[in-house]
Structure 1
Amino acid sequence: MTLQHLVLAIAGLAAFSAPAAAETQQQRVPASQCQAIAENIPKVTFASFSGAQQIVPAVSEGEDVKFTFLGHSTFEIDTPGGIIIATDYNGWYRPATIPDVVTMNKAHTTHFTLTPESGIKHVLHGWSDTPGEAADIDLVVGDAYIRNVTTDIRFSYGLGGSQEHGNSIFIFEIAGLCVGHLGHLHYELTDTHYTEIGRLDVVMVPVDGGLTMGADSMSRVIKRLRSSLILPMHRRGPPVNAFVSMFGKEFDIAYAPDDSITVSMRTLPKKPLIYVMKGVQ
């Protein structure tokens, strides 16, 4: 083969492989930094990294994530990159600015709306409209990577039975933080669920005492997750103390004077903290 033929062959190979490489790049699925690697350990407890601050890699300048309790189970999450997320969005509790992303769950109309504002770019349903199928969320919006883990829910209004995959635990990976919203969780999580969820540094948990799960059952979930920051939500009827009383000295308790908190990987509490915001108390 002459040098000219060799050059032409290399050029042709490059022309053939470039589109393939571009296609591979486009199809690449984001990798979770929070999901468990040790999938074969059935009873592993996923601990937060907050106790090992010295090994956390350097975070870029914008590292603070702000959580604001809007009401019921709706939180506004503001990312360092300016993305606004609203959880369990029902259209009643709204951020001051139209959010970029809203997540919803199907358990009750207080957790979703079929008529969200037209300016919301990403409306994420935590359920599938096809019976028996699970919603599959795998999305990057700005500096937020959003995924979900589905759980079953009981049918509403005393009808009995349950609906498969009716609830989604939404997981937001932002600025190194692993953030989970348990939605309308009706059943204790299985080992498979814990493996799919992985590590959660911040978790938003319903504390209604029975509409989702009783305080004892819900506390077992929180103890297993071992998150650094626990944000109660969805309180109806019983005082939040019914939930808080299930935890021992391994957890700190704080009753906040306002409805928001700002955290980062650097500022997460080293001891698990149940942080009860104004409006939940």
Structure 2
Amino acid sequence: MPRPSARLVVLAAAWCVLAVQTGSAAPLRVQAQDPLARAPVSQCLAMASAPQPPYRAPVVMAATGALSPHDVRITYVGHSTFRIESGGGVTIATDYNGYAGIEGVPRVVTMNHAHSSHYTAFPDPEIEYVLRGWNPDGGAAKHRLVVDDVLIRNVPTDIRNDFGIMEVDGNSIFIFEIAGLCLGHLGHLHHRLTDAHYAMIGRLDVLFVPVDGTYTMGHAGMIDIAKRVRASLLIPMHAFGPGRLSQFVSAMGEVFDVELSQTPTITISQNTLPQLPKVLVLPGY
């Protein structure tokens, strides 16, 4: 029997690697002209073990104005919903529940079905991409989407259902890679993370963390996650009042700087992240 040529062997190996990387997820709606769309490589995973820059200036606050390609604008809408804007004009709403307080129609929304305040069964039909943190057909949700200058991916986790039973892969940690920054939204996280979860998350510059201490998980667990991720900016959400927020911030203040923002909107870039890890409390919790 003739032996395969070296060219065929190389092509077969490349095909196998591509199959492993892409998995069995359904085709995504991606801008064909975007070079990232053809090769969506996660910089957050690639840089997870890379050395950090030696110095970064304090956070720059800005509520209005045009964004440069190096900027990301974050607005806390309330509960666990943030409006995230890229320099390329992509708008994202996290844990979207149809809330009218979000200015305009976002191009992308992410949702988790732990409670009705974190998703809607009837998203605005003008929304271009609706990313559910769970898979309605069963199994884990798998998202790896490039929209212009934004790469969005997810890390599935479990949730408790209305009967207190853990539902496997019912939640997702969504990660947004924009302008060289890695932003992670824990969603309605109900359990501690494993080493495998941390490996899939990679490096994070900004972490949106629920701090209610009961509906998601206790403060001790969330604080452990925050310390291990050690993002430059930790932004609390899902607080259910100043008391629980204060408890979390006080505990985190032992290892992180703490800042209370006067505005729900900030604009950040790689060059304006804080030098030391900081808890940044945005009004509207």
Instruction: Give the letter for the 1:145 counterpart.
Output: L
- Structure 1 residue runs of 4+, over 4 Å off? 25-29, 50-54
Alignment TM-score, normalising by the size of structure 2: 0.79
**What is the aligned residue count?**
243
Q: Could you give the per-residue CA deviations for residues 74-118 of structure 1, whole angstroms, max 9, x where no partner exists?
A: 000010001100000001254211100000001011000011111
**Other-structure match for 1:31:** 41
**What does 1:40-119 correspond to in 2, within 5 Å?**
49-51=52-54, 61-119=68-126
* 1:240 aligned residue (240, 245, 253): 245
- 1:56-90 deviations in whole A, cap 9, x for unaligned? xxxx9521101000011000001000110000000
Match of 1:175 in 2: 179
TM-superposed deviation, 1:249: 4.1
| 1:256 maps to which of 249, 254, 261 | 261
Q: 1:50–1:181: structure 2 CA closer, same or farther, 3 Å change rule?
A: farther
Cα distance change of structure 1 residues 217 and 227 upon mapping to structure 2, 3 Å threshold: same
- TM-score, normalised to structure 1's length? 0.80
Q: Is the 8 A contact 2:56 2:272 kept in 1?
A: no
Q: Does structure 2 conserve the Cα–Cα contact (< 8 Å) formed by 1:251 and 1:274?
A: yes
SS of the aligned residue for 1:35 comes to helix
| Residue identity matched to 2:240 | R
Give the Cα–Cα distance (whole angstroms) in 2 for the partners of residues 48 and 37 of structure 1: 8
Paired position in structure 2 for 1:12: none
Matches within 5 A, 1:180-199: 180-199=184-203
Question: d(CA) in 1 for partners of 2:226 and 2:129?
Answer: 29
2:84 aligns to what SS in structure 1? strand
Indicate the SS of the match to 2:154: strand
| Partner Cα separation in structure 2 for residue 205 and residue 170 of structure 1 | 12
Question: Which shifted more, 233-242 or 270-279?
Answer: 233-242
Q: 1:136 to 1:94 in 2, by over 3 A?
A: farther
Whole-Å separation in 1 of the counterparts to 2:239 and 2:135: 27
Change (3 A) 1:47 1:249: farther
Distance in 1 between residues matched to 2:93 and 2:167, nearest whole Å: 24
The amino acid that maps onto 1:49 is Q
Identity %: 50
Given that residues 145 and 174 in structure 1 are in contact (C-alpha distance below 8 angstroms), is that contact kept between their aligned partners in structure 2? yes
Q: Confirm or deny that 1:148 pairs with 2:160.
A: no
Alpha-carbon contact 1:184-1:212 (below 8 Å) kept: yes
The answer to whether the 8 Å contact 1:49/1:201 transfers is no
- Cα contact 1:48–1:199 (8 A) shared by 2: no
Residues of 2 paired with 1:137 and 1:198: CA distance? 16
The letter of the residue matching 1:259 is P
Whether the aligned pair in 1 keeps the contact of 2:133 and 2:141 (CA below 8 Å) is yes
RMSD: 2.5
Structure 1 residue 178 displacement after superposition: 0.4
Note if contact 2:80-2:210 (Cα within 8 Å) is conserved in structure 1.
yes
- Does the aligned pair in 2 maintain the 1:202–1:228 contact within 8 Å? yes
**Aligned: 1:208 with 2:212:** yes
Q: Is the 8 A contact 2:109 2:127 kept in 1?
A: yes
Structure 1 counterpart SS, 2:77:
strand
Q: Tell me if structure 1 keeps the 8 A contact 2:161–2:167.
A: yes
C-alpha separation in 2, matches of 1:48 and 1:179: 18
Letter of the aligned partner of 1:99 in structure 2?
P
Q: Which residue of 1 aligns with 2:5?
A: none
Deviation at 1:236, TM superposition (A): 1.1
Gaps spanning 5+ residues in structure 2: where?
1-31, 58-66
Change (3 A) 1:53 1:275: closer
